[in-house]
Amino acid sequence: FFRDSCGMPFSVSQCKAADETFQEGKPCFFRHPEHSWLLGVVERELSESKYEVRTTEDRYADVGSLVVTIHQMAPVVQGSNEDVRDLLHLPYLHGSALMYHVRQRYFRDHIYTNIGPILLALNPFNWDIPHYRPEMMHNYICEGSNTLYGASTQLPHSWSTAHDAYWQMRTERRSQ
């Protein structure tokens, strides 16, 4: 089962018939035993519930072709691969899309990602990422109350979370 944007479970058959969702040459997410969810493409259908897939994320995981069952696959919904700073803006939030986006952002040195009011932070193993240096904090402060409710033009960061909390206290005149 997958979960829709409200968290309700649904099956592939409820989304679309499997033969429409996982067609040869079409993108899909698939569960890999070592790399979790990867973006790939359906190479061919082997049976009603088995597919041969290959990754399109060669930069991150060279797994070649792999045989997976339909239960190890998730559809790529239109717009689900677009770069977003807040994963709640995705049209389809599933573990596969979450892993894809977090991985993509991590390899671009964007170690923070919003999931609504939650800030997801990954250890970069690098303490000198240009857009997260202390001198960049001024850019977050200069936005003032314009950042309230996700309107910031800056990359997600703990600074923006603290900044939003401060401005919400000032504008709503109540504690967090």
Q: In this structure, is residue 112 part of a structural domain?
A: no
Summarize the confidence of residues 14-33 as an average pLDDT.
Answer: 77
Q: Is 50 helix (H, G, I), strand (E, B) or coil?
A: strand
pLDDT of residue 29: 94
Digit-coded pLDDT (tens) for 128-174: 899 899 999 989 888 888 777 667 888 999 988 888 888 888 888 87
Q: What is the pTM of this model?
A: 0.76
E strands, 86-176, in order: 112-115, 118-121
For residue 48, name the pLDDT band (cuts at 50, 70, 90).
Answer: confident
pLDDT of residue 4: 44
What CATH number does the domain containing 25 carry?
Answer: 2.30.30.140
Residues 71 and 10 in one domain: yes
Number of domains the chain is built from: 2
Can you say how many angstroms the Cα of residue 165 is from the centroid of all Cα atoms in its chain? Answer: 24
Asked if residues 25 and 15 have their Cβ atoms less than 8 Å apart, the reply is: no
For residue 101, name the pLDDT band (cuts at 50, 70, 90).
Answer: very high
Name the residue among 76, 93, 75 with its Cα closest to residue 84. 93
Q: In this structure, is residue 99 part of a structural domain?
A: no
Q: In this structure, is residue 14 part of a structural domain?
A: yes
For residue 52, name the pLDDT band (cuts at 50, 70, 90).
Answer: very high
Digit-coded pLDDT (tens) for 111-124: 999 998 899 999 99
Domain that holds residue 145: 127-172
Digit-coded pLDDT (tens) for 123-132: 999 888 998 9
Report residue 149 as tokens.
């409710």
Contacts of 74 (CB under 8 A, 6+ apart): 2, 28, 29, 30, 37, 94, 95, 96, 97
Q: In this structure, is residue 82 part of a structural domain?
A: no
pLDDT of residue 150: 65
pLDDT of residue 79: 85
